[in-house]
Amino acid sequence: MSDADKKEGVLYIGIDLGTSRTSVSASNGVRETVGSYVGYPKDVVSQKLLKKDVLFGDEAVEKRLSLRFYRPLEHGVLKNSNADDKSDNEIQRAAEDLLKEAIRLAKPRKDELVYAVIGAPAQASIHNKEAIVRAARQTVDSVMLCSEPFAVAYGLEMLDDVLVIDIGAGTVDLCRMHGTMPEDTDQITLTSAGDFVDERISENIRTSFPEAQFSVQMIKAIKERHATVATDTERIRVDLPVKGKPTSFDITDELRNACRDMIPPIVEGLGKLVATFDPEFQERLKNRVLLAGGGSQIRELDSAIEEYMHQELGGGKVIRIEEAIYGGANGALKIAHDMPAEYWEKLS
Amino acid sequence: MRDFAAPHTRMPTANFTGSQEALFSPVQVRALMAAEFERARRYGEPLAGLLIGVDRLGQLTDFYGYEAKSEILEAIAELMNENLRAGDFLGCRIEDSLLLILPYTGRDGARALARRILSGARALVFEGGGRTLRISVSISAAYSDNPSSNHFSGLLEVTGNGLRAATEDGGDRFIEWKPVESDFDRLRRDLEDRIQSLRSDLPGGAPRETANMQDIAPAPLAAAAPVPPAAEEVPVAEAESSASLELSLSAKLRSLLDAQAAEGQEDSAALQGKIQELLTQHNRQIDVLERRISKLTRNLELTEDELKRMSLLKDVDVGVASIYRDVQGLNADAESAEAKKHMMANIFEANMELQTQINERARKD
């Protein structure tokens, strides 16, 4: 039994801590994702009914009426992480619980060291980074943060002359990779992300069909199912209640226009990053644009951005990454793997 | 380096494999094994079985496809061909594992072979989807000199359990699996032994019935037996530990009657009273023992229930072991190693700075 004594190991975890979805990739082969929603039973009655102290993801969304419901990473950062009042403490607690849940999903064994790399929004404030690290320290042995778009590019081994667009729910992160670690000037964070699209869809539907009743969660579900920027798509019909009666509405234009609204700010941001780059490599940079994140699943978005880049920047080529949900987590896992031992030890 | 995208290459023909398809089927192997185990038993020859599984083959298949799986299994079979003696082994594929039966091979030989296969598998490099992939295997062994694996199905079970244990422990290891007595079994056995011991301490194992005058009839008064030491109170613990209560009571009665005879008293009423007193004391001791048995039995039941509950809790996911035993770090041969090294240093420095700020803030607070 010569090798049987090798019990303990090192579990690397890459986490993409997103506004609406937190994804985890681990060195034991586990890949999981959970909605970034946390709920605590409002009172003893709901606690008895739910039989849980804390609920996460879709379950929390489903039972949200019985819960104190939190979305701790709204706008891609820990909400109010630099404030001190009671509700903010609960948000911090929700963030900690969400991270604990993400790490639990990675199924670490008790006898293993857990080293995690967490993808944070490119321009997260120092307070936010501190809050994330504080939350993570509760459950892992050593933790590092890195920029989300950088993690995506690193995971795909595209380190030279690449522009990354990482579309999340709270933020769109743009990052310019040029063979070294991106600096602040290489990164732009926009708020015209998934939540922005949800608001636009709601506004458009409200304007076109004022009698229709809907909630944010319903709009999210519609978007996740039908989102597209394609012009030649089948008509999209959804049932929305009108005075309690389900009524069918054709929301094709409302949905498409809302999704298209996110393109101009993205291309404008790309233009800034291209324009401030070495002129010799600008053309190459424009032709290596990676589209990642949950928002990249909007149908035909890559072609639409490309088309807009042609109009505004005179050309461009957009490549949609294969794994929209796990791209960031996979990259963070790769960074965790490549990080030397002494770095982990110093941070533990 | 092997490339998953490259045309599917066949393994070179060898004595048992040739190709995966050419391995013996499990049915053929069963027939051959009966003869092989019989021969080993008859001539007292050692026989070893190794079950070899590729770690996380399912996940690798999900990620790289079935061609990759075939490629990996063929590479492992090829590796075995390279490491085995010609003509003295049999092999077959059981689901995604490879079984080797090694006649005339003892523990040392099997261990040496397992180590060679382990290190050989670690050295295999595959190329797929632009990524370099290394694999590891887990190996479980069983031997015919062990009663639980001196027949083919027993050997299969032992090696199967071993392979499962090796995989659950993270893979990349060699295990000689033995059934382990669980805490539950051990505790139950201990308690049952104690109860059995207490029961055997009771006269004839039937407490009440033995404690009557017929069974412990006094010796005839005329018998000139030597005078035994004066009757003493026998503590319960002593009665439990060695002498049975029956013997103790007999001794006391005999002593009482001898003393009576020596004194020449013939007051039968007084004698009967003393005997009755002894019997009452005896019954009290039996009562104590019975209560203790009853209590221990109840405790055993409670403990069993609790252990059952805990064994159910064992189904709670204990986690999945990481592929890595230690920190990996950047491979110097990796593409853009120097640039990546620089990036890792930058990420570390930024995080170190962040940690310093957190610590300073915590100190101020």
Other beta carbons less than 10 A from residue B89's beta carbon: 19
Task: Name the residue of chain B whose CA is nearest to A6's CA.
Answer: B325
Per the domain annotation, does B362 fall within a domain? Answer: no
- Interface contact A341-B326, CB threshold 8 A: yes
Shortest Cα distance, chain A CAs vs residue B86, angstroms: 26
Q: Give the whole-angstrom CA distance, residue A71 versus residue A75.
A: 10
* B321 vs A9, A160, A344: nearest CB: A9
Q: Which chain A residues are closer than 8 Å to B174 by Cβ?
A: 1-4
Residue A2 has pLDDT above 70, yes or no: no
Q: How far is CA B27 from the centre of its chain?
A: 29
Q: Which of A181, A335, A348 to mutate to test binding with chain B, by most B CBs within 10 Å of its CB?
A: A181
Per the domain annotation, does B330 fall within a domain? Answer: no
Q: Count A/B contacts: CB-CB distance under 8 Å.
A: 142
Shortest Cα distance, chain A CAs vs residue B358, angstroms: 6
Per the domain annotation, does B84 fall within a domain? Answer: yes
Shortest Cα distance, chain A CAs vs residue B140, angstroms: 10
Pick the last residue of a domain from B154, B180, B206. B180
Same domain, B17 and B161: yes
Token representation of residue A346? 């110093």
Same domain, B188 and B84: no
Same domain, B121 and B228: no
What's the one-letter identity of residue B243?
Answer: A
Per the domain annotation, does B215 fall within a domain? Answer: yes
Determine whether B3 is exposed, middle or buried from the number of CB atoms within 10 Å of its CB (0-12, 13-18, 19+).
exposed
For chain A, the helix, strand and coil percentages under 3-state DSSP, each to the nearest 5 = 45, 25, 35
- Interface contact A27-B324, CB threshold 8 A: yes
Residue B169 touches partner A, C-beta closer than 8 Å: yes
Answer whether A195's CB lies under 8 Å from A77's CB: no
Other beta carbons less than 10 A from residue A291's beta carbon: 25
* B340 vs A9, A338, A347: nearest CB: A338
- What's B227's DSSP letter? P
User: In terms of Cα–Cα distance, which of A266, A263, A274 is closest to A315?
Assistant: A274
Mean pLDDT across chain A, nearest whole number?
A: 87
Q: Give the whole-angstrom CA distance, residue B277 versus residue B269.
A: 12
* B173 vs A3, A180, A339: nearest CB: A3
Specify the pLDDT at position B207: 43
Render pLDDT for A223-281 as a digit per residue (tens, 0 to 9): 989 999 998 888 999 999 999 899 999 999 999 999 999 999 999 999 999 999 988 88
Same domain, B153 and B278: no
Question: How far from B204 is each of A106, B246, B284, CA to CA, in Å?
Answer: 60, 8, 17
Specify the pLDDT at position B130: 65
Per the domain annotation, does B281 fall within a domain? Answer: yes
Q: Which chain A residues are closer than 8 Å to B344 by Cβ?
A: 335, 338-340, 343
Quick one: average pLDDT of A298-320?
93
- Interface contact B325-A126, CB threshold 8 A: no
**DSSP-assigned letters across all residues of B61-112:** HHHH-HHHHHHHHHHHHHHHHHHS-TTS-EEEEETTEEEEEEET--HHHHHH
Pick the last residue of a domain from B270, B289, B313. B313
CATH number of the domain where residue B73 is located: 3.30.70.270
Q: Which of residues 98-117 of B touch A (CB under 8 A)?
A: 111, 115
Q: Give the whole-angstrom CA distance, residue A154 versus residue A14.
A: 12
Quick one: average pLDDT of A132-159?
88
HSE-CB of B221 using CA atoms within 13 angstroms: 9
Answer whether B88's CB lies under 8 Å from B39's CB: no
10-residue mean pLDDT profile of chain B (365 residues): values are 45 35 62 77 83 84 78 82 66 74 85 88 78 83 78 82 82 78 63 70 48 38 39 43 66 78 71 82 84 85 78 67 79 79 90 87 79
For chain B, the helix, strand and coil percentages under 3-state DSSP, each to the nearest 5 = 55, 10, 30
Same domain, B61 and B78: yes
What's the one-letter identity of residue B166?
Answer: A
For A35, left (φ over 0), alpha (ψ -120 to 50), or beta?
beta
Q: Which of B118, B325, B338, B347 to mutate to test binding with chain A, by most A CBs within 10 Å of its CB?
A: B347
Q: Which chain A residues are closer than 8 Å to B321 by Cβ?
A: 9, 28, 109, 112
Q: Which chain A residues are closer than 8 Å to B169 by Cβ?
A: 4, 6-7
Q: Which chain B residues are closer than 8 Å to A332 by Cβ?
A: none
User: In terms of Cα–Cα distance, which of B174, B47, B177 is closest to B114?
Assistant: B174
Answer whether B240's CB lies under 8 Å from B201's CB: yes
Per the domain annotation, does B136 fall within a domain? Answer: yes
Which string of b and e fits B198-207 if b means at least 16 CB within 10 Å?
eeebbbeeeb
User: In terms of Cα–Cα distance, which of B236, B244, B210 is closest to B289?
Assistant: B236
Quick one: average pLDDT of A145-172?
89
Per the domain annotation, does B289 fall within a domain? Answer: yes
Residue A79 has pLDDT above 60, yes or no: no
Proportion of chain A above pLDDT 70, given as a percent: 92
SS3 B151: coil
Answer whether A346's CB lies under 8 Å from A131's CB: no
User: In terms of Cα–Cα distance, which of A145, A224, A223 is closest to A181?
Assistant: A145
Task: Name the residue of chain A whose CA is nearest to B327's CA.
Answer: A341
């290489």: which residue's tokens? A186
Q: Give the whole-angstrom CA distance, residue B331 versus residue B220.
A: 97
Same domain, B215 and B286: yes
Residue A316 has pLDDT above 70, yes or no: yes
Q: Which chain B residues are closer than 8 Å to A157 by Cβ?
A: 130, 335-336
Q: Which of residues 343-362 of B touch A (CB under 8 A)?
A: 343-344, 346-348, 350-352, 354-355, 357-358, 361
- Interface contact A7-B346, CB threshold 8 A: no
Predicted complex ipTM: 0.85
What's the one-letter identity of residue A20?
Answer: S
What is the arrangement of strands in the sheet containing B131-134, beginning at the earlier edge strand? B2-3, B125-128, B131-134
Same domain, B168 and B265: no
Total residues found in chain B within this entry: 365
Same domain, B238 and B250: yes
- Interface contact B352-A347, CB threshold 8 A: yes
- Interface contact A338-B173, CB threshold 8 A: no
Q: Give the whole-angstrom CA distance, residue A71 versus residue B344.
A: 31
Q: Which of A2, A110, A145, A159 to mutate to test binding with chain B, by most B CBs within 10 Å of its CB?
A: A2
Segment (H or E) for B137: strand B137-143
Same domain, B25 and B167: yes
Provide the pairing of β-strand A21-26 with A31-35: antiparallel
Q: How far is CA B315 from the centre of its chain?
A: 17
Same domain, B32 and B14: yes
Q: Give the whole-angstrom CA distance, residue B15 versus residue B91.
A: 10
Task: Name the residue of chain B whose CA is nearest to A158's CA.
Answer: B336
Q: Which of A5, A323, A339, A346 to mutate to test binding with chain B, by most B CBs within 10 Å of its CB?
A: A339
Render pLDDT for A25-62 as a digit per residue (tens, 0 to 9): 999 889 999 999 999 999 888 888 888 889 999 999 98
Q: Give the whole-angstrom CA distance, residue A69 versus residue A67.
A: 5
Phi then psi dihedrals of residue A176, to 5 deg: -105, 120
Residue B27 touches partner A, C-beta closer than 8 Å: no
A160: confidence class by pLDDT, cuts 50, 70, 90: confident
Q: Which chain B residues are closer than 8 Å to A115 by Cβ?
A: 327
Same domain, B6 and B140: yes
- Interface contact B336-A157, CB threshold 8 A: yes
- Interface contact B325-A12, CB threshold 8 A: no
The number of folded domains in chain B is 2
Provide the pairing of β-strand A289-292 with A162-167: parallel
Please, where are the H alpha helices in chain A? Answer: 44-50, 57-62, 86-105, 126-137, 148-155, 194-208, 216-226, 252-260, 263-275, 282-286, 301-313, 327-338, 341-347
> Which residues are CB-neighbours of A318 under 8 A, at least 6 positions away?
A165, A289, A290, A291, A302, A303, A305, A306, A309
A76: confidence class by pLDDT, cuts 50, 70, 90: low
pLDDT, greater one: B10 or A296: A296
- What's A102's DSSP letter? H
- Interface contact B351-A11, CB threshold 8 A: no
Pick the last residue of a domain from B270, B295, B313. B313
Q: Give the whole-angstrom CA distance, residue A145 versus residue A150.
A: 11
Shortest Cα distance, chain A CAs vs residue B56, angstroms: 8
- Interface contact B324-A10, CB threshold 8 A: yes
Domain of residue B259 covers: 184-313
Specify the pLDDT at position B223: 38
- Interface contact B322-A112, CB threshold 8 A: yes
* A107 vs B320, B347, B361: nearest CB: B320
Q: Give the whole-angstrom CA distance, residue A253 versus residue A255.
A: 5
User: In terms of Cα–Cα distance, which of A189, A244, A253 is closest to A213?
Assistant: A244
Q: Which domains does chain A have, with CATH numbers?
A: 10-153+327-347 (3.30.420.40), 194-260 (3.30.420.40)
- What's B20's DSSP letter? G
What's the one-letter identity of residue A264?
Answer: P
Q: Give the whole-angstrom CA distance, residue B243 versus residue B203.
A: 10
Q: Which chain B residues are closer than 8 Å to A11 by Cβ?
A: 322, 324
Q: Give the whole-angstrom CA distance, residue B321 versus residue A28.
A: 6
* B351 vs A26, A28, A145: nearest CB: A145
> Which residues are CB-neighbours of B172 under 8 A, at least 6 positions away?
A3, A6, B55, B118, B122, B136, B137, B138, B323, B325
Per the domain annotation, does B336 fall within a domain? Answer: no
> Which residues are CB-neighbours of A319 under 8 A, at least 6 positions away?
A288, A289, A290, A291, A302
Q: Which chain A residues are closer than 8 Å to B346 by Cβ?
A: 180-181
Same domain, B47 and B102: yes
Total residues found in chain A within this entry: 348
Specify the pLDDT at position A248: 94
